[in-house]
Amino acid sequence: MDTPVNILAIVGSYRKAGIIERAVDEILSAAGKAGAVTRKITLIDKNLAFCTNCRSCTQVAGDHFGVCVLDDDMTSLLQEVNHADAIILASPMNAGTVTAVMKTFIERLVCTAYWPWGAPGPKARRPEKSKRAVLVASSAAPGIIARLTGDVTKRLESAANMLGAKTIGTLFIGLAAQQQHQELSKRIIIKARKLGQKLAVHN
């Protein structure tokens, strides 16, 4: 029998039980019922400092993520990503892009690149995409408008790439700020469950 798929969700919403967290919970619950092992990390609960742009973490070659000079929760977060077969990256769209806490996490992913001084740009340490990713985003605007005017899914997909994950699905929830505690629509719940079931199966 296959070992269960290990799924890690990284949530960049500021609201507990907001639309993003509830959508992620639907995905994880469906994945869990389909046999996956799941875990959710909410970034606001973590101690995550801003990248200092020192680029210490990018100087040494190799496929191990570079070591950051900052001593906070990023190291353990990346260890959890390393153990995962699949990841979920989730963020509301704020001011046209991912939330500041998700952006902080994404900037810290510079350690996933080799970029010594003198090199023109960063080179991915893990260009192969051995993991799978699902992206979850939400907006006050209708989904189609938000996707045209903002870059939240682009930012999340690029983060997934940096973590060695190929995006296999996106759940975008438009019109997500009509009520303080808005319910997920039936359509979104069905899509979330399908994504969970898809993630729970090995490649």
Q: Name the residues that contact ligand FMN, by CB under 6 A.
A: 13, 15, 18-20, 92-96, 138-141, 146, 176-177
**How many degrees, rounded to 5, is the angle at CA 102 between CA 178 and CA 179?**
10
101 contacts 14 by C-beta, under 8 angstroms: yes
Nearer to ligand FMN, 70 or 89 (CB): 89
Closest approach, Cβ 40 to ligand FMN, in A, equals 13
Nearer to ligand FMN, 177 or 201 (CB): 177
Nearer to ligand FMN, 48 or 111 (CB): 48
Nearer to ligand FMN, 124 or 140 (CB): 140
The secondary structure element, H or E, covering residue 74 is helix 74-83
Residues in the chain: 203
Tokens 């699949």 -> residue? 86
CA distance 184 to 90: 15
Closest approach, Cβ 155 to ligand FMN, in A, equals 13
Nearer to ligand FMN, 18 or 169 (CB): 18
Closest approach, Cβ 21 to ligand FMN, in A, equals 6
Sign of CA dihedral 166, 49, 76, 59: positive
Closest approach, Cβ 48 to ligand FMN, in A, equals 18
Closest approach, Cβ 140 to ligand FMN, in A, equals 3
Residue closest to 88 by CA, chosen among 74, 101, 75, 102: 102
Nearer to ligand FMN, 19 or 159 (CB): 19
Q: In this chain, which residue has its C-beta nearest to ligand FMN?
A: 18
Closest approach, Cβ 87 to ligand FMN, in A, equals 18
Amino acid letter, residue 165: A
CA distance 137 to 109: 20
Tokens 């960049």 -> residue? 12
